[in-house]
């Protein structure tokens, strides 16, 4: 009993985080530092906005950083959506690339400027109904999300009855089918077949993808904190118990799958706008693996982890670029440093991270300032203890 | 056995898994306001009986009625709203949800306010209140069992069915669990209890049934069964020592 009280007291002092309890979200617990947290969050947002405004103003000097940030925003949405299904509902789905392809193609087909269509479709011609059909970018993206969600609802009916690896294989197959259909000659007049689509209107400034991503992720977070979110987690933790509580397993899984696919469709649309030209090769299985990597690295069951993971994976591939340059030390050119070496190191780093940091960077916690401070405090204490 | 209105009635229930008959035509009733226990060894068909009441298993034949309503055609989520909850075997709390969230999940099918029931559950289990912000996975086995029972109470059930609540718990905790069961029953909830720990179950129950290989072989009040030679030999031999 007394031990228990001690723990309760110490957890209060740590700002809601109980060390040794493997770390979890203490939802709705009154945060003793809520003012500090709010101030820090607002300050961080302002700082971030200022940095982005600075990049935007000098866009030509920072086009490299801008492209990394925009790509990260796109992948953060996709990773959060995958986390919704994999991390929070416990469904191991590998259909991400397929749903993103649907979103990307819908957005692209509906937004390419009318004047550019003749040149885009010069090989096969354009379907007559599509020739003069153009909608605003935002509408096209939402439509892409809805179509993607519709497909998810349909294939969810047979597929969500499968468990773990079987579900992964089935969704993987679905994604490949979507890709093949999009590239099929019968679709030439809509998707331009293997030639792909270009002339897609891009983002005009860095804030557009960031705000889009922020809105999408905020909606997913709200969902996870609602009673639906609790039902997702209950299904993940124990299907039998969840069913005994009266949760309809299939309906809950289907809901999570459909919502996740909606946001994957949106992120696909964002990707089309970011790349400005797409073809079906973009949406191969590698893309799903990349997103899965972000989810695992960031932490399965942590949305903030997915955001951090997206930044690290997209940034990391670029930051390691120096490894591709030839390196000469003392007149001897080291043979390993040549194009492609970067990917070797990158893969090794990932393996090491997954081996030694199995729960990812965030585990299943969400980011909180209090936790960040308590980590620093513990490190400081540890170093003081070591000096004595 | 005194005659009272049966809350739950099971008639000629047959449950098959593939070619194996787990329950071979059993009939019994659970009178309102009582504690009824089903005892029997592993594989006697006790859990299958419970699982078919809440619709997790579809019986091959027979009927199950609750307050006169046929349950067989209803899906699990509707059965829960009718007033039956199951405490599944092996506790099965949601380990990554906090204690408070687990309790909320118990009331998942309810639309009305649950504050009163939270209060009631916390008075019954003060330890859960102290630990309401801890993830359920960090609780001890006994506390998890208490949480599983508390979670079941959150749906305001008329009938709680418990599948082996004493499984894997220290004897002193088992005592506590059974005290809680009696307490819940005193407050007016009918209880159907499945146990391998026949000794405790028969002491607690108003009446009991002995199941063997899918059939009910004996029935009587808790005391009658506890004094029955066959039962003592088969189930209480060790417990009496």
Rounded to whole angstroms, how far apart are CA atoms A232 and B226? 44
Residues of A in contact with B86 (CB under 8 A): 244
Rounded to whole angstroms, how far apart are CA atoms A70 and A314? 10
What ipTM score was computed for the predicted complex, to two decimals? 0.86
* Chain pair A-B, CB pairs under 8 angstroms: 86
Mean pLDDT of A85-95: 93
Gap from A295 CA to chain B (nearest CA, Å): 18
Mean pLDDT of A290-296: 91
pLDDT in the model for residue A267: 97
Mean pLDDT of A268-282: 94
Gap from A84 CA to chain B (nearest CA, Å): 15
Beta bridge partners of B8: B30, B66
Q: Label residue A30 by pLDDT band (50, 70, 90).
A: low
Selected residue with higher pLDDT from A25 and A30: A30
pLDDT in the model for residue A70: 94
Count the Cβ atoms, other than its own, within 10 Å of residue B76. 20
pLDDT in the model for residue A62: 85
Please return the burial class of B120, using the count of CB atoms within 10 Å of its CB with bins 0-12, 13-18 and 19+.
middle
Residues of A in contact with B111 (CB under 8 A): none
Mean pLDDT of B101-120: 88
Q: What is the pLDDT of residues A169-183, one digit of tens each?
A: 999 999 999 999 999
Gap from A247 CA to chain B (nearest CA, Å): 6
A245 part of contact set with chain B, CB < 8 Å = yes
The answer to whether the CB of A252 falls within 8 A of the CB of A91 is no
Counting residues of chain B whose pLDDT is more than 70, the rounded percentage is 96
Element (H, E) at B102: helix B99-106
Instruction: Please state, rounded to an integer, the average pLDDT across all residues of chain B.
Output: 88
Domain B6-240 has CATH 3.40.50.300: yes
Among A196-205, A313-322, B66-75, the range scoring the smallest mean pLDDT is A313-322
Gap from A171 CA to chain B (nearest CA, Å): 26
- Domains in chain B: boundaries: 6-240
The answer to whether the CB of B26 falls within 8 A of the CB of B12 is yes
Task: For residue A26, give the nearest of B79, B98, B151 by CB distance.
Answer: B98
Q: What is the pLDDT of residues A304-358, one digit of tens each?
A: 999 999 999 898 878 887 777 777 777 777 777 777 788 888 788 878 877 887 7
Residues of A in contact with B101 (CB under 8 A): 27, 230, 233
pLDDT in the model for residue B229: 82
Task: For residue B130, give the nearest of A4, A236, A244 by CB distance.
Answer: A4
pLDDT in the model for residue A20: 37
Does the pLDDT at position A371 exceed 70?
yes
Q: What DSSP line would sit under B140-176, residue for residue?
A: -HHHHHHHHHHHHHTT--SEEEEE-TTTT--HHHHHH
Among A224, A241, A301, A370, the strongest candidate for a mutation testing the B interface, having the largest count of B CBs within 10 A, is A241
Task: For residue B80, give the nearest of A234, A236, A246 by CB distance.
Answer: A246
Rounded to whole angstroms, how far apart are CA atoms B30 and B65? 11
- Domains in chain A: boundaries: 66-284
In whole angstroms, how far apart are CA B22 and each of A59, A239, B211? Answer: 72, 23, 11
Q: Which residues of A222-251 are buried (b: 16+ CB within 10 A; e: fewer)?
A: ebbeeeebbbbbbbbbbbebbbbbbbbbee
Does the pLDDT at position A369 exceed 90?
no
**Residues of chain B contacting A, Cβ within 8 Å:** 54, 56, 75-77, 79-81, 85-86, 88, 92-98, 101, 104-106, 108-109, 130-131, 133-135, 138, 148, 151, 155
Instruction: Please state, rounded to an integer, the average pLDDT across all residues of chain A.
Output: 85
Count the Cβ atoms, other than its own, within 10 Å of residue B36. 27
Question: B2 in the Ramachandran plot: left (φ > 0), alpha (ψ -120 to 50) or beta?
Answer: beta
pLDDT in the model for residue A29: 56
Task: For residue A246, give the nearest of B104, B108, B134 by CB distance.
Answer: B108
Count the Cβ atoms, other than its own, within 10 Å of residue B22. 22
Mean pLDDT of B228-233: 82
Mean pLDDT of A294-306: 91
**pTM for this entry:** 0.85
Could you give the 3-state DSSP secondary structure of residue B234?
helix
């Amino acid at each position: 009993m007394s031990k228990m009280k001690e723990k309760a007291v110490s957890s209060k002092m740590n700002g809601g985080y109980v060390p040794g309890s493997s770390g979890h979200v203490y939802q709705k617990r009154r945060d003793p530092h809520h003012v500090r947290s709010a101030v820090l969050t607002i300050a961080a947002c302002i700082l971030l906005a200022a940095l982005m405004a600075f990049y935007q103003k000098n866009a030509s000097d920072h086009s490299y950083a801008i492209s990394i940030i925009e790509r990260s925003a796109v992948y953060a949405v996709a990773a959060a959506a995958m986390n919704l299904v994999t991390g929070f509902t416990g469904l191991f789905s590998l259909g991400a690339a397929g749903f993103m392809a649907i979103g990307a193609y819908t957005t692209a087909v509906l937004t390419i400027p009318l004047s550019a269509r003749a040149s885009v479709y010069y090989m096969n011609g354009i379907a007559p109904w599509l020739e003069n059909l153009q909608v605003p970018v935002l509408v096209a993206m939402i439509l892409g999300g809805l179509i993607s969600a519709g497909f998810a609802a349909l294939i969810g009916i047979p597929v969500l009855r499968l468990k773990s690896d079987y579900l992964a294989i089935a969704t993987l197959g679905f994604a490949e089918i979507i890709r093949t259909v999009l590239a099929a000659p019968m679709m030439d007049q809509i998707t331009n077949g293997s030639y792909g689509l270009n002339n897609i209107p891009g983002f005009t400034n860095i804030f557009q993808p960031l705000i889009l991503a922020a809105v999408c992720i905020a909606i997913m977070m709200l969902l996870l904190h609602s009673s639906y979110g609790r039902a997702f987690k209950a299904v993940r933790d124990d299907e039998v118990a969840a069913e005994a509580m009266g949760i309809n397993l299939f309906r809950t899984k289907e809901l999570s799958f459909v919502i996740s696919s909606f946001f994957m469709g949106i992120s696909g649309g964002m990707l089309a706008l970011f790349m400005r030209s797409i073809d079906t090769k973009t949406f191969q299985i590698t893309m799903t693996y990349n997103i899965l990597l972000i989810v695992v690295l960031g932490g399965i069951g942590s949305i903030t982890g997915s955001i951090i993971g997206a930044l690290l994976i997209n940034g990391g591939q670029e930051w390691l670029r120096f490894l591709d340059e030839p390196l000469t030390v003392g007149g001897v050119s080291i043979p390993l440093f040549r194009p492609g070496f970067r990917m070797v190191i990158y893969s090794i780093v990932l393996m090491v991270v997954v081996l030694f940091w199995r729960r990812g960077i965030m585990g299943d916690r969400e980011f909180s300032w209090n936790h960040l401070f308590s980590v620093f405090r513990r490190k400081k204490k540890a170093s003081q203890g070591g000096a004595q | 056995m005194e005659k009272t209105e049966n809350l739950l009635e099971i008639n000629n229930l047959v449950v098959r898994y593939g070619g194996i008959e787990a329950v071979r035509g059993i009939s019994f009733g659970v009178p309102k306001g009582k504690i009824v226990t089903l005892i029997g060894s592993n594989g006697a068909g006790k859990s299958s009986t419970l699982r078919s009441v809440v619709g997790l298993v579809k019986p091959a034949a027979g009927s199950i009625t609750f307050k006169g309503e046929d349950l067989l055609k209803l899906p699990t989520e509707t059965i829960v709203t009718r007033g039956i909850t199951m405490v599944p075997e092996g506790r099965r709390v949601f380990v990554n949800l906090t204690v408070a969230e687990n309790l909320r999940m118990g009331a998942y099918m309810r639309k009305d306010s649950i504050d009163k029931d939270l209060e009631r559950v916390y008075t019954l289990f003060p330890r859960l209140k102290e630990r309401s912000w801890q993830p359920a996975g960090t609780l001890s086995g006994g506390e998890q069992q208490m949480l599983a029972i508390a979670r079941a109470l959150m749906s305001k059930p008329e009938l709680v069915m418990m599948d082996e609540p004493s499984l894997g718990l220290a004897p002193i905790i088992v005592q506590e669990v059974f005290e809680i069961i009696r307490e819940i029953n005193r407050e007016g909830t009918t209880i159907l209890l499945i146990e391998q720990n026949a000794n405790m179950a028969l002491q607690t129950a108003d009446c009991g049934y002995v199941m063997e290989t899918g059939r009910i072989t004996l029935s009587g009040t808790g005391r009658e069964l506890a004094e029955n030679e066959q039962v003592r030999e088969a189930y209480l031999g060790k417990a009496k020592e």
